[in-house]
Amino acid sequence: MQPLTVRTADVPEQPWRNGGGVTRELLALPTGADWRVRVSVADVARDGDFSSFVGVERWFAVVDGAGIVLTVDGQEHRCTRDDAEGFAFAGNAPTSCRLIDGATRDLNLMLRGTRGALARVVADRIRRPPERACGLYATTAGSVRADTRQPSPMPAHALRWWPRAPATVAFDGCGWWLDADAETAR
């Protein structure tokens, strides 16, 4: 199966469910309201509350800007674009954010009834994904090589999603790896 590539700039903004910001939905599997895996990018320009997603595991990473202090269930968590892993929390937990120094762009991986992860790309390191669906969100342009195929260009601020993870994948730029259980991510 061929991977899907979606550039953030090509996806229209949607207001957050609580009206506190805007998001761009890059991927929802299956499509529609009954998604099990959802990948989005949010532009956050002010402090405020996050929308509640009951029954959803959320993974969060800052991709542009100085960062955010998330308060989840009363506990503060500092998230910056230099973090090695995304921050996971329950989607129904009371969550608010405070900007550290100006607006941010944030990557969100939301999982309903499935497992997954969000981790920083280490440039040029070959990655052997588990038997899952997987994706790459590039914060810089670069080249992706999946299995033994020729490298293909990857634009900045874009998502590439493989319905079933290749045996190996490498990216020579900066970004984030996303994983989701393959059986429920179709």
Mean pLDDT throughout 33-52? 92
| Residue 186 counted as domain residue | no
The pLDDT, as a whole number, for residue 77 is 97
Report CA-CA distances (Å) from 109 to 98, 125, 127, 141: 20, 22, 19, 21
| Residue 162 counted as domain residue | yes
Encode pLDDT of 143-185 as tens digits: 998 887 788 999 999 999 988 888 888 899 999 999 887 555 5
| Residue 3 counted as domain residue | no
| Residue 5 counted as domain residue | no
- What does the angle CA 34 – CA 38 – CA 44 come to, to the nearest 5 degrees? 125
Q: What Rg, from alpha-carbon coordinates, does the chain have?
A: 16
Q: Is 63 helix (H, G, I), strand (E, B) or coil?
A: strand
Same domain as 107, residue 31? yes
User: How many domains does one find in the chain?
Assistant: 2
Report CA-CA distances (Å) from 36 to 29, 69, 85: 6, 27, 21
130, β-bridge pairs: none
Does the predicted TM-score (pTM) go above 0.75?
yes
138: pLDDT confidence band, cut at 50, 70 and 90?
very high
The pLDDT, as a whole number, for residue 125 is 65
Q: What is the mean pLDDT of the chain?
A: 89
**Locate tokens 């993870």: which residue?**
165
pLDDT at 24 over 60: yes
| Residue 1 counted as domain residue | no
Same domain as 156, residue 69? no
Q: Is the dihedral of CA 63, 64, 69, 72 positive or negative?
A: negative
Q: Token digits for 58?
A: 């959320």
Task: Supply the range of the domain harboring residue 66.
Answer: 10-112
Same domain as 122, residue 30? no
Cβ neighbours of residue 89 closer than 8 Å, sequence gap 6 or more: 57, 58, 60, 70, 72, 77, 95
CATH of the domain at 81: 2.60.120.10
| Percent of the residues in the chain that have a pLDDT greater than 70, as a whole number | 91
Encode pLDDT of 66-106 as tens digits: 999 999 999 999 999 999 999 999 999 999 999 999 999 99
